[in-house]
Homo-oligomer: A and B are copies of this chain.
Amino acid sequence: MQDVYPNLAGCIDIKLINADSIVNESDVIFTALPHGVAEKYADECIKKGKKLIDMSADFRFDDDEATFTKWYKESWKYPAVHAESVYGLPEMNRKKIAKARIIGNPGCYVTSATLALLPAIENGLIKFDPIIIDSKSGVTGTGRNPSIKNQFCECGESISPYAVGAHRHQPEIERNLSIAAGERCGVVFTPHLIPMSRGIVSTIYAQLNDTICEAAGAEINSKIIQRLYSDFYSDEPFVRVLPSGMVPATKNVRYSNYCDISVHVVHDGKMLEVCSALDNMLKGAAGQAVQNMNIMFGYKEDMGIDMIPPAF
């Protein structure tokens, strides 16, 4: 372990277990494997009464194989495990997660966008199409395999969009929003690569519904919507709705499981702009997976993930 991660020397003394026996020897399995590989472990977990939390996209689409296959070019070998899998976004599905055996842990961009939009969607504040999501991610988002894309001198001191109109997190965001809305939502999603290690900011633009705009002036709407967001997340341990006038920054959430959200009524009261920030490695991946485990096992929800962000 120390050879690959010298930072862990003296901290952790875990034996790597062969994948064949890992289900037998564990109560819960976290799988971070290429798309399409976790299915068989999920099947084994169900048969043996174990639980599985998967970090790939395999279980992010419930029983909708068509969408999964369209975007990930894989088909399913164990359809039954998908049918009972639960999408692991606690703020949407906490009760289902508590009873689940198979969890599809959400994508990092997806978490940042969904949390930012849930209060607006569920309260019918905005038009459902088009919702513009402009996201910016640190380089850990590209994975650990070295490539020209994540080489220091290529991505340092530069920013660029990528996968314009074609990123695989777009259908997952649309799915979440459509479930929340009860009707189809249409999303334009553009990710950007930023010269920093960790963190995602999503800046989101949607038109306010005419009834909202007409009901009150821009300033009043701003206060109402600010309050609505604060109330929506008041019991959530990991979502912080910022006070009016503040904006999120990834430095305030890095190394923690928090997602910070700010809401703004702009364009003379006609549009809602929401900004969210999270750590793509924690609330966007491993932290959320542990949060799901805590819910599944009835532990305190922030057990092991109550880190205070160090800011710098």
Contact = CB atoms under 8 A, between A and B. Distances in A.
Interface of A: 2, 5-12, 130, 132, 134, 136, 138-140, 144, 146-148, 150-162, 164-165, 186, 188, 190, 192, 194-199, 201, 203, 205, 207, 240, 242-243, 246-256, 258, 260, 262, 264-267, 270-271, 273, 275, 277, 308-312
B5 A130 contact: no
A195 B192 contact: no
Nearest to A255: B310
A207 B129 CA distance: 11
A199 B193 CA distance: 14
B139 A159 contact: no
Contacts of A188: 205, 266-267, 271, 273
Contact of A266 (B164, B247, B312): B164
Contacts of A310: 7, 255
A292 B198 CA distance: 32
Contacts of A151: 144, 146, 150-152
B165 A190 contact: no
Contacts of A253: 7
A153 B280 CA distance: 13
A253 B267 CA distance: 31
A243 to B, nearest CB: 8
Contacts of A277: 159-160
A273 to B, nearest CB: 6
28 contacts: A6-B252, A7-B256, A8-B309, A10-B240, A11-B308, A130-B267, A130-B271, A132-B134, A136-B194, A139-B156, A146-B148, A153-B197, A153-B312, A156-B156, A158-B199, A159-B194, A160-B277, A164-B264, A164-B273, A165-B266, A165-B267, A165-B273, A188-B273, A192-B201, A194-B195, A195-B195, A197-B312, A255-B255
A150 B164 CA distance: 27
A301 B93 CA distance: 41
Contacts of A194: 136, 159, 194-195
Given A7-B308, A134-B134, A201 B161 contact: yes
A140 B154 CA distance: 10
A162 B264 CA distance: 12
A7 B311 contact: yes
Given A158-B196, A308-B12, A152 B134 contact: no
Contacts of A134: 132, 134, 203, 205
Contacts of A164: 247, 262, 264, 266, 273, 275
B196 A161 contact: no
Given A154-B312, A308-B11, A159 B250 contact: yes
Contacts of A192: 136, 201, 203
B201 A249 contact: no
Contact of A309 (B7, B240, B248): B7
